[in-house]
């Protein structure tokens, strides 16, 4: 679905410890900080979420294994202290294993708790964004090991003993794993609590209003368990709510949430909270079940959220937050609405346009050629227009099926769609009662058929322009608009050229010396017919290119 997609990464991260930030001296000789991992900078550690992340390349290990450990961040840091710890039977923590360096110029090994090479720190205050080391599992490894890091952004800004991933001895059943959901511009991270079956969530996104995610049994809004971070002037309101439909969330509160924190920085909202895997609150879902994931963001005012201008990003299938790792894909547009847009574009950009051109300008080019008892131009025109009406009827019904009724927030677009369908059905009725070519009333039919067809085509183009701005099928701007403008311009240019050619031919045939002109221009007329065929091919080729471009953008929403 969406290449513009929804990614879910799940990591095992249950532990019997909590993280706390790290501080370091410029030369990294911070052995005296090994115990509580607190630097002696005279300032407390930060309590807001840190911009740093600790990861490993494995969730399990055996004695003698080598596990890669990576400290990375969205901003630079000047110092750090990294350790691996296990838990004794009485609950006390102890240092586990040793480390091997991959960059001795920037990192160094330390002796903590009388165990050589059991910690890693920096060698200078040179700024860096990533550190990679290797942890070596000892022969007497405990069942689980958790990594901790203290990070110093600069002297007075530091995070102490930040908890990292937990890795487990092969054969040991871990606690429920952590999960990460990312989707520009919103990010959500979850990890289980250390002492009880609960999950810690981290949610971030643009600071213009709010970011939220929801757990849903289906891909429709309604009866969903939602969690929101809403900007209210210079603070953020973190709450859970029940989404009963396309309305404001109900029962917004922090009931069931704990360890709530937030910050506004660099144009982003960041909030963190925890909630138990199972809650007795009505409307709250247990996190050990499978759900579709919704992620949304939008504007807010005075702590009140507005309707999001884009559809929520929805996972393509259900996922359990506490399940093993998996990459999820998602889409902001329901498949049924993608199909609606694709069929309407196919009908009115290609089959309808080409069918109209054939009837308007190509009758003289196949005067004596027949197909199934009718002239070729008429059969091609009729076939294309029947296909256009069929595609329109099918596409017209899809939004009603999706919305289960009339859409109240789609503006003029659905009214134009109704007009296009009505006129499309009137056209074949008018054609069925057309008089014979030599009838005195034939001109009435010609004008009526041309007039209704022209109005239908104009309304269809207007509906296409408005349709690409619908929240359920929002095409990338501005280039999608430019493609559609290019299509209309190309169509208008060829219509003008063929009208000029048609007028020139009529004028030539009505000249005083008609016979002479027809005789002298027989060869030019032949070449004129060839040029018109080339013109038709060029018209169809460019229209098809524009159509494929828009269909590709629909597929990747």
Per residue, what are the HEC states of 378-398?
HHHHHHHHHHHHHHHHHHHHH
Q: Is 93 inside any structural domain?
A: yes
| Window from 161-175, 264-278, 388-402, 480-494 with minimum mean pLDDT | 161-175
Look at the chain and report how many structural domains it folds into: 3
- Last residue in a domain, options 297, 331, 365: 331
147 confidence band (pLDDT: 50, 70, 90): very high
Taking all residues of the chain, what is their mean pLDDT, rounded to a whole number?
A: 80
Which of 55, 229, 234, 51 minimizes the C-alpha distance to 146? 55
Count of beta carbons in the 10 Å neighbourhood of residue 456: 23
Q: How many residues does the chain have?
A: 557
Give the tens place of pLDDT for each residue, 290-327.
Answer: 999 988 888 887 777 877 767 788 888 888 887 776 77
Q: Is 447 inside any structural domain?
A: yes
Structural domain for 327, as ranges:
198-331
Which contiguous run of DSSP H or E holds residue 369? none
Q: In which residue are the tokens 């009333």 written?
A: 441
Say which residues have a Cβ less than 8 Å from residue 507's Cβ, sequence separation at least 6: none
Q: What is the pLDDT of residue 69?
A: 93
Q: What is the pLDDT of residue 16?
A: 26
Residues 129 and 210 in one domain: no
Query: Cα dist. 327→12, 36, 282 in Å?
Result: 15, 36, 31
Distance separating alpha carbons of residues 455 and 446, to the nearest angstrom = 14
On the question of pLDDT at 428 being above 60, the answer is: yes
Question: What values do phi and psi take at 427, rounded to 5?
Answer: -55, -50
In the predicted model, what is the mean pLDDT of residues 67-87?
89
In the predicted model, what is the mean pLDDT of residues 254-266?
79
Best mean pLDDT range from 287-291, 334-338, 416-420: 416-420
Helix axes 442-467, 479-509, angle to 10 degrees: 160
Q: Is 514 inside any structural domain?
A: no
Distance separating alpha carbons of residues 550 and 465, to the nearest angstrom = 12
Q: What is the pLDDT of residue 519?
A: 44
Identify whether the C-beta of residue 133 lies closer than 8 Å to the C-beta of residue 2. Answer: no
Say which residues have a Cβ less than 8 Å from residue 441's Cβ, sequence separation at least 6: 435
Q: Is 186 inside any structural domain?
A: no
In the predicted model, what is the mean pLDDT of residues 29-34?
78
Q: Is 376 inside any structural domain?
A: yes
Residues 393 and 471 in one domain: yes
Three-state DSSP at 102 gives: coil
Give the tens place of pLDDT for each residue, 331-389.
Answer: 877 888 899 999 999 999 999 999 999 988 888 777 777 788 788 888 999 999 999 99
- Last residue in a domain, options 148, 169, 190: 169
Residues 294 and 349 in one domain: no
Q: What is the pLDDT of residue 422?
A: 95
Distance separating alpha carbons of residues 144 and 148, to the nearest angstrom = 13
Residues 153 and 225 in one domain: no
Distance separating alpha carbons of residues 275 and 241, to the nearest angstrom = 13
Distance separating alpha carbons of residues 177 and 319, to the nearest angstrom = 13
On the question of pLDDT at 457 being above 90, the answer is: yes
Residues 324 and 339 in one domain: no
Q: What is the pLDDT of residue 502?
A: 78
Query: Cα dist. 332→31, 235, 309, 426, 458 in Å?
Result: 51, 29, 11, 35, 29
In the predicted model, what is the mean pLDDT of residues 277-298?
84
Give the tens place of pLDDT for each residue, 171-202.
Answer: 765 544 333 333 344 455 555 544 457 788 88
Q: Is 261 inside any structural domain?
A: yes
Q: What is the pLDDT of residue 189?
A: 57
């Amino acid at each position: 679905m969406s290449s513009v997609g929804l990614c879910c990464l799940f990591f095992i991260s249950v532990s019997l410890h909590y993280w706390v930030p790290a501080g370091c001296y410029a030369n990294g000789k911070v052995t005296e900080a090994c115990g509580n991992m607190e630097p002696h900078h005279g300032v407390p550690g930060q309590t807001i979420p840190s911009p740093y992340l600790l990861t490993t390349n494995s969730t399990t290990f055996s004695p003698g294994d080598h596990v890669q450990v990576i400290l990375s961040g969205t901003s630079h840091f000047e110092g750090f202290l990294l350790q691996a710890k296990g838990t004794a039977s009485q609950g006390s923590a102890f240092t586990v294993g040793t480390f091997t360096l991959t960059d001795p110029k920037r990192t160094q090994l330390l002796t903590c708790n009388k165990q050589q090479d059991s910690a890693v720190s920096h060698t200078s205050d040179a700024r860096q964004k990533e550190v990679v080391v290797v942890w070596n599992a000892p022969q007497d490894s405990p069942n689980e090991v958790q990594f901790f890091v203290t990070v110093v952004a600069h002297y007075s800004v530091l995070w102490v003993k930040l908890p990292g991933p937990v890795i487990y001895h092969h054969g040991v059943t871990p606690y429920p794993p952590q999960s990460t959901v990312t989707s520009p511009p919103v990010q959500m991270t979850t990890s289980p609590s250390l002492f009880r079956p609960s999950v810690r969530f981290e949610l971030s996104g643009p600071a213009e209003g709010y970011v939220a995610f929801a757990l849903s049994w289906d891909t429709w809004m309604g009866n969903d368990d939602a969690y929101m971070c809403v900007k209210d002037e210079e603070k953020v309101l973190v709450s859970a709510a029940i989404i009963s439909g396309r309305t404001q969330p109900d029962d917004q509160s922090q009931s069931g949430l704990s360890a709530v924190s937030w910050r506004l920085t660099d144009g982003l909202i960041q909030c963190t909270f925890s909630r138990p895997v199972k809650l007795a609150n009505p409307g709250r879902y247990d996190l050990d079940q499978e759900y579709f994931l919704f992620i949304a963001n939008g504007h807010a005012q005075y702590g009140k959220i507005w309707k999001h201008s884009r559809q929520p990003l929805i996972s393509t299938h259900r996922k359990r937050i506490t399940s093993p790792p998996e990459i999820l894909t998602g889409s902001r547009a329901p498949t049924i609405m993608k199909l609606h847009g694709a069929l309407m574009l196919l009908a009115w950009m290609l089959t309808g346009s080409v069918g109209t051109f054939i009837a308007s300008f190509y009758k003289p080019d196949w005067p004596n050629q027949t197909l199934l008892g009718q002239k070729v131009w008429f059969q091609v025109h009729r076939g294309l227009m029947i296909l256009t009406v069929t595609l329109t009827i099918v596409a017209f019904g899809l939004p009603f099926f999706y919305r289960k009724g009339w859409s109240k927030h789609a503006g003029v677009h659905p009214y134009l769609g109704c007009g296009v369908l009505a006129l499309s059905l009137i056209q074949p009725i008018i054609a069925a009662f057309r008089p014979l070519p030599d009838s005195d009333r034939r001109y009435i039919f010609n004008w009526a058929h041309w007039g209704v067809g022209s109005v239908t085509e104009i309304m269809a183009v207007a509906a296409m322009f408005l349709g690409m701005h619908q929240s359920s099928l929002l095409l990338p701007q501005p280039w999608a608009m430019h493609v559609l403008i290019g299509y209309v311009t190309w169509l208008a240019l060829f219509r003008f050229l063929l009208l000029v050619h048609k007028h020139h031919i009529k004028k030539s045939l009505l000249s005083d010396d008609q016979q002479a002109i027809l005789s002298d221009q027989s060869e030019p007329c032949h070449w004129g017919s060839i040029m018109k065929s080339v013109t038709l091919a060029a018209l169809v080729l460019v229209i098809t290119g524009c159509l494929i471009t828009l269909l590709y953008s629909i597929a990747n929403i």
